[in-house]
Amino acid sequence: MKAGSTASAFVAVLRRDLVVFWRHRSDALNPLVFALIVVTMFPLSLGPESQRLAPIAGGVTFVTVVLASLLSLDALFRSDAEDGSLDLLVTSGQPLALIAAARLLAHWLGTGLPLTLAGPLFATLLGLPYAAAATLAGALALGTPLLSLIGGACAALTVGLRRSGILLALLVLPLTLPVLIFGAGAVEAAASGATVQVPLLFLAAGLALALPLAPLACAAAIRLNVS
């Protein structure tokens, strides 16, 4: 790969983010621990009867994953804004949308993917029937990238603001409601034996739409905040 080419820039940003992430790998567990704690709150508040928990297991897991993936969003562009790396990326002459895409991919690998893998485990703790666990995994595999994409665009919008954590949540959550609806709906359908194609296809379609658009929105937001 030629140094200075677009492909090398993409790989370089991705690699750099993953190295930085790895150097703080103890922080990386935080979203997972958070998710586990939230999942634990449900039997504690509703009682441990599986008749109560099993029907809501899929939905609760999905809500928890959405909230947990919010945690690492605020920091997504913030450190780059503070140390001048964002200026560097904007003036690099490389397509900013592609660089943003690398950043979003790194976020998914660091936060979304672990949550996707842990999700079915959490749901099983709540009594989700095994038949639906595979659907949950699939819905999470489609949904968590969407969360990274949408969340990343909103994080880029708020990068210059102090104390933007709550505001970021207020921006991201309404936009991610369709992911929740289709994802949890798919699990519901699987648990009750109905067809899961429709919601999963909608998630896939949403992902296909967001993949090109979210990095573009990200890049526009970054340029706005850098100027």
Subset of 177-216 contacting another protein (CB under 8 A): 177-178, 181-182, 185, 188-189, 198-199, 202, 206, 209, 213
Report the residue number, 118 or 182, with the smaller CB distance to another protein. Answer: 182
Query: Which two structure tokens, joined as six digits, stand for 6?
Result: 């677009």
Positive/negative CA dihedral, 7, 89, 102, 94: negative
Cβ of 84: how many Cβ atoms within 10 Å? 9
Cα separation, 156 vs 22, whole angstroms? 22
- Binding of another protein by 83 (CB under 8 A): yes
33, 46, 88, 134: which one contacts another protein (CB under 8 A)? 88
| Residue 66 or 118 with smaller CB distance to another protein | 66
Q: Tell me how far apart the alpha carbons of residues 117 and 96 are, in angstroms, rounded to a whole number.
A: 30
Determine if 19 is a binding residue for another protein (CB under 8 A): yes
Task: Considering only the stretches 43-51, 55-63, 131-139, 162-170, report the one whose residues sit in contact with another protein under the rule CB under 8 A.
Answer: 162-170
Answer yes or no whether residue 85 interacts with another protein by CB under 8 A: yes
| Smallest separation (angstroms) from another protein to the CB of 213 | 7
Rg of the chain in Å (alpha carbons): 18
Which contiguous run of DSSP H or E holds residue 49?
none
